[in-house]
Amino acid sequence: MNKNREWEHTAPMWRQDIHIPDFTALKENAQTEVLVVGAGITGVTTALLLAQAGKQVTLLEAGKILNGTSGHTTAKVTAQHGLIYHELIQHFGLEKASLYYQAQVQAQSLIEKQIHDLNISCDWKIEDACLYSETDEGARELEKEYQAYKQLGIPGSLHDTIDVDIDMTKSLVMNHQASFHPLKYLTALVDELLRLGGQLYEDTEAVDVTEEDTVQVSLANGAVVTCDQLVCCTHFPFYDGKALYFSRMYAERSYLIAIEPEKDCPDGMYLSVDEPKRSIRPAQFNDKPVLLIGGESHRTGEGTDTRFHYRALEEFAAEAFGIKNVLFRWSAQDLTTLDKVPYIGPINRNNKQVFVATGYRKWGMTNGTLAAHINTEYVLGEESLFHSLFKPSRFKADPSMKQFLSQNFNVAAHLVEGKLELVGNRPEALKKGEGGVVQWKGERAGAYKDEDGTLYVLDTTCTHMHCEVEWNSAERTWDCPCHGSRFSFDGTVMEGPAKKPLQEIPFSSTEELTFLPKEDETTGWEETDPS
């Protein structure tokens, strides 16, 4: 075990062994047939499919391409989306539950076809996906899911053992699933898009939309892009279309580590059904076998000190596989809809100009690819069996009403709690690299001191709907527990639905700062040897 590992390795493994091209910003007014906003797997695939269909396409990215959720994934290409099929049958019936499965299988096939047609080298590997339980309750859930598999004709098998050194009660295997290197795949799609004449711009933030005979998309730099149709492929829709997406989804963060294990890497991909969930999948890095260990999901802006989650994953990995070295740590944010089925299609009812794709519930490789194909069909005026299931304007009282009330009650609770937070007694000054909630002139504020000693003091009121953001010590961000907006330590927006940065508070002295401690707060990264 390497006891000198560095906390700074909070970057996804996928970006370490690949060249990703840079693109210029769009600074002038422009016109295109179809504008795609967001250059992750959904946006890149959508733009390519439209270009292949002969459309004039422009693709915009607010930051750098492939650096969002698509670059922070576990990269499982599977129709086994946790315990989902029994639930879908209960809420939607057999026909629509079957459509969901067929859609995921089609998405996997579409990825495989692109790999074959474009001769992409991306570590594509066919392997089994396995759900496993460690409790009797989890075993009962797997048995119900297996019955759903049989009802839907899903190839799968229920077992009492799995080929990993973990105590378990049951396992449910779905055969012929896949994994790959997502950025090797997506950079090849980008190359093909450019070859077909597609336009791609980075550092170009879309901020608003006007819908008339054409669609006008306003950029943060003042330029306007005019298009016939817009496909919004940002993680959270940058344009809401009065559809209130912020009230119909919730955001969760989850964590990943990449390790060199002491034991041999197991074949296949694994996901536990008990809490806390654990995801396991083998991969390659620098021609060496590694394991990706994930889990520790929680609502954005909630939970313990975020560094705790990395420690928990390392302790699990050390016990199950042994650890020679921790190579990388990173996290991702995912959105879940009211009924756990993504929103894909017209941004609001019967809209034929603006389309949206969001709410993948951690399964973005297949759902993102599926969304690209569905929205391409909409743009081209084609029909599909999948349209009604994924249409964003759907609303089924069970479970949507229950989840809508639960989600928005949670928002209200955070809104009140944040405003009533009490002042503690911890007057010491910030250390370099430390941040947290403080009191400043009797008001709640946020402070962070960087490694150079520069102090950033911000109003912690989220600019979306005025909830109070919380400090994320692992990633040095401010996260909103209400709707999942995230801000950098200097207040810059990193994740929507917020569009405006946190307000900076002019500040010249640390003497007026009083920390607001949290019961489970820890400061600094304590190096421990989980083995």
* Lowest mean pLDDT across 111-125, 373-387, 513-527: 513-527
Q: Which fold has domain 396-522?
A: Rieske Iron-sulfur Protein (2.102.10)
Does residue 423 have a pLDDT over 50? no
Indicate the DSSP class of residue 118: T
Distance CA 493, CA 480 (A): 11
**What percentage of residues in the chain have a pLDDT greater than 90?**
62
Tell me what the pLDDT averaged over the chain comes to: 87
Each domain of the chain, given as residue ranges in start order, spans 19-75+181-248+338-394, 396-522
In contact, 475 and 435? CB cutoff 8 Å: no
Preceding omega of 237 cis (within 30 degrees of 0)? no
The residue among 425 and 160 whose pLDDT is bigger is: 160
Instruction: Give pLDDT tens digits for 159-200.
Output: 998 777 788 899 999 999 999 999 999 999 999 999 999 999
Distance CA 42, CA 71 (A): 12
Q: Which two tokens stand for residue 16?
A: 């370490």
Fold agreement (19-75+181-248+338-394, 396-522): no
* Exposure of 281 in the CB half-sphere (CA atoms within 13 A): 26
Which whole number is the average pLDDT over 214-239?
96
**What percentage of residues in the chain have a pLDDT greater than 70?**
85
The reported pTM is 0.83
Mean pLDDT: which of 96-110, 249-263, 383-397, 425-439 is highest?
Answer: 96-110
Tokens 């756990």 belong to: 340
* Exposure of 361 in the CB half-sphere (CA atoms within 13 A): 16
Distance CA 245, CA 368 (A): 18
Residue count of the chain, please give it: 531
Q: Which two tokens stand for residue 33?
A: 């047939």
Write down the pLDDT at residue 523: 36
* Lowest mean pLDDT across 210-214, 356-360, 474-478: 474-478
Distance CA 496, CA 251 (A): 10
Q: Quick count: other Cβ atoms within 10 Å of Cβ 383?
A: 8
* Lowest mean pLDDT across 17-26, 249-258, 451-460: 451-460
Distance CA 128, CA 150 (A): 17
Write down the pLDDT at residue 187: 98
In contact, 473 and 306? CB cutoff 8 Å: yes
CATH of 19-75+181-248+338-394, one of 3.50.50.60, 3.10.20.30, 1.10.1740.10, 1.10.443.10: 3.50.50.60
